[in-house]
Structure 1
Amino acid sequence: MARFVVVPQWQGSGSDRAMRLATGAARIAEDLPRSATEYVDVPLEAGSALDTGVVRASSVLRVREELAATLGQGQGPAVTVGGDCGVELAAVEHAASLDHGIAVVWFDAHADLNVPEESPSGAFHGMVLRSILGDGPPAFASRSAVQPSRTVLAGVRSMDPGEEAFAAESGVAVLAGTEASTEAILAALRATGATSVYVHIDLDVLDPASVTAVNHPEPFGLSVSDLLDAVKSIRAEFELAGAGIMEFAPADEVPGGVTDPDAGDDLTTILRLIAALRA
């Protein structure tokens, strides 16, 4: 896999530091091969809800169409670089349109299975997986939905009651926190019967001791070595339908006018993950 699509979307985030996600996408892009990297324009404006119950819906929907068009013009699977997790709707939708039997492994501290009526923030990044599964706010429902029974939540540590109920009722496999060992993930993916997998990585799946530049850290996450081992093992056993790396949120500057020093370590981790995906 040698194709990258950079999408510096921040409008799907519920954080008051959402704009850092655009900075994060740009930082990652600086280390990607220029000849293999494409960019999706993100509106400058926040956007309006459009009576969807999703904040900034107009901008998020616009980016969805722009990303879908960009992915549709290329060949082979891509690594999509966000931005907030809402970017993944179009990315997974594209992968599923090419192979209706894919599985999705969702490395994330949060389930992203909310609906507008139950969402604490109204932010789409907390609803995106629900939309990928063909449910959620109607304007965002996937045009090539993934089956819940072919979905594995890995490393999740924060789920709202409605998300827990949906996962249990729909058949989404949940491997909470450090229960998401490589062996457990592979077993859950094998149980789906899929031969190809889309790998979603929200960096907050990592323990806060391992990553600093995220907006929504949760304790008791995976270590970098555990996540790398899982990605490499998935890559070795399954065809890769595509991948996404989301929610890198470095500060532009820290006091003293210098670039956030901790973000450099996080960027090294991101590049190691990208290398594992491309192996």
Structure 2
Amino acid sequence: MQLIDGADAIHGDLPQAVTRRVEVPLGAGESLDSGVARVSAIMSVRDSVEIALAAVTAPDARQGDEAPGIVVTIGGDCGVELAPIGAAMGRAARNGGTLAVVWLDAHADLMTPGSPVPGAFSGMVLRTLLGDGPELLVPVIDETLDATRVVLAGVRSVDDDEEEFITRMGIPWVPVDELGDGTALVAALEGTGATEVYLHVDLDVLDPAEIAALSYPEPFGASMATLVANIVAVRQRFPLSGAGITQFAPSSPDAASDDLSAVLRVISALTRTL
């Protein structure tokens, strides 16, 4: 319910003409023997987001011949990213390009249903996008995300299995103390050979001193100035194919206003004209 309150608060401050609301199931959902709690609800949200994305990016949704701007998907938790990143990969492949994903997050989200903390899909999202997650949720696209085209940024909480996976797959990792003005992140992206970038922003990449409304706060995170600088640096170097903002979880609807300005600053960094 905190995530719902957070999404509702953000929705209230966005321009309604370019904002689409995706309804989510109110029921808890079933695990369907997948090892993932409430997987049926996650599948329903994924399918609904796919439909919404198709509607806003279709040619007849544009003004004349003008290409649409980027779509920013706002959650909810990181599980909302399945459809947007899958769609971005598909578009890049159809256009003859390659997509890199920047995972700006305190957590790597590379767990599996067999990990020590089972059940919560929010910790498995990136692993699933890489094609190694629960069968019911692995993207049904021409190709899954390549590990060498993922860059972890600001990640500082990983378990042993995740760390082994990162090393084995050669996933680039830019820690908080190297984010700086975005130079290191841009260099890591250039090393992937990608032609366009999707930016995933879990707000817990920020230090808890910067924003209180987090589901899983981790100390020693990035400052807001650093996060914004990295987003801008990436946008100046690469075409942005899309972005996601997740995990805004105020303790109450009234408390949302305390941190809303921080969220809107992130949205501005992702969407304003440079």
What TM-score, normalized to structure 2? 0.90
Alpha-carbon distance in 2 for matches of 1:267, 1:232: 20
Alpha-carbon distance in 2 for matches of 1:43, 1:50: 16
1:113 touches 1:163 (CA, 8 Å); kept in 2? yes
2:35 touches 2:118 (CA, 8 Å); kept in 1? no
2:105 touches 2:153 (CA, 8 Å); kept in 1? yes
- State the match for 1:162 in structure 2: 161
| Letter of the 1:68 counterpart | E
SS at match of 1:25: helix
1:197 touches 1:241 (CA, 8 Å); kept in 2? yes
2:111 touches 2:123 (CA, 8 Å); kept in 1? yes
Alpha-carbon distance in 1 for matches of 2:245, 2:266: 9
1:178 touches 1:220 (CA, 8 Å); kept in 2? no
SS at match of 2:136: helix
1:119 touches 1:126 (CA, 8 Å); kept in 2? no
- State the match for 2:63 in structure 1: none
Alpha-carbon distance in 2 for matches of 1:224, 1:166: 29
SS at match of 1:104: strand
- State the match for 2:43 in structure 1: 61
2:79 touches 2:125 (CA, 8 Å); kept in 1? yes
- State the match for 1:142 in structure 2: 139
Structure 2: tracts of 5 or more residues without a match: 58-67
- State the match for 1:132 in structure 2: 129
Q: CA deviation at 1:119?
A: 4.5
| Letter of the 1:171 counterpart | G
- State the match for 2:107 in structure 1: 110
Alpha-carbon distance in 2 for matches of 1:229, 1:97: 28
Q: CA deviation at 1:133?
A: 1.2
2:100 touches 2:194 (CA, 8 Å); kept in 1? yes
- State the match for 1:97 in structure 2: 90
- State the match for 1:31 in structure 2: 13
Alpha-carbon distance in 2 for matches of 1:24, 1:119: 29
| Letter of the 2:127 counterpart | R
Q: C-alpha offsets along residues 98-126 of structure 1, whole Å, 9 cap, x if unaligned?
A: 11310000000000000000140411110
SS at match of 1:38: coil
| Letter of the 1:179 counterpart | E
- State the match for 2:65 in structure 1: none
User: 2:261 matched to 1:268?
Assistant: yes
SS at match of 2:270: helix
Moved over 3 A (4+): none
Alpha-carbon distance in 1 for matches of 2:212, 2:177: 19
C-alpha RMSD of the superposition: 1.2
Alpha-carbon distance in 2 for matches of 1:212, 1:48: 31
- State the match for 1:210 in structure 2: 210
SS at match of 1:99: helix
Q: CA deviation at 1:176?
A: 2.4
SS at match of 1:130: helix
Alpha-carbon distance in 1 for matches of 2:152, 2:188: 10
1:134 touches 1:143 (CA, 8 Å); kept in 2? no
Q: C-alpha offsets along residues 158-196 of structure 1, whole Å, 9 cap, x if unaligned?
A: 001111111111121112232333111111001011121
2:76 touches 2:246 (CA, 8 Å); kept in 1? yes
Alpha-carbon distance in 1 for matches of 2:45, 2:189: 30
Q: C-alpha offsets along residues 116-143 of structure 1, whole Å, 9 cap, x if unaligned?
A: 0014041111000011112111111122
Alpha-carbon distance in 1 for matches of 2:102, 2:258: 25
Structure with the largest fraction of strand? 1
Alpha-carbon distance in 2 for matches of 1:227, 1:233: 10
What TM-score, normalized to structure 1? 0.88
Alpha-carbon distance in 2 for matches of 1:142, 1:164: 23
Structure 1: tracts of 5 or more residues without a match: 1-18, 254-258
1:107 touches 1:154 (CA, 8 Å); kept in 2? yes
Alpha-carbon distance in 2 for matches of 1:169, 1:190: 21
2:33 to 35, 48, 51: 51
Identity across matched positions, percent: 47
- State the match for 1:226 in structure 2: 226
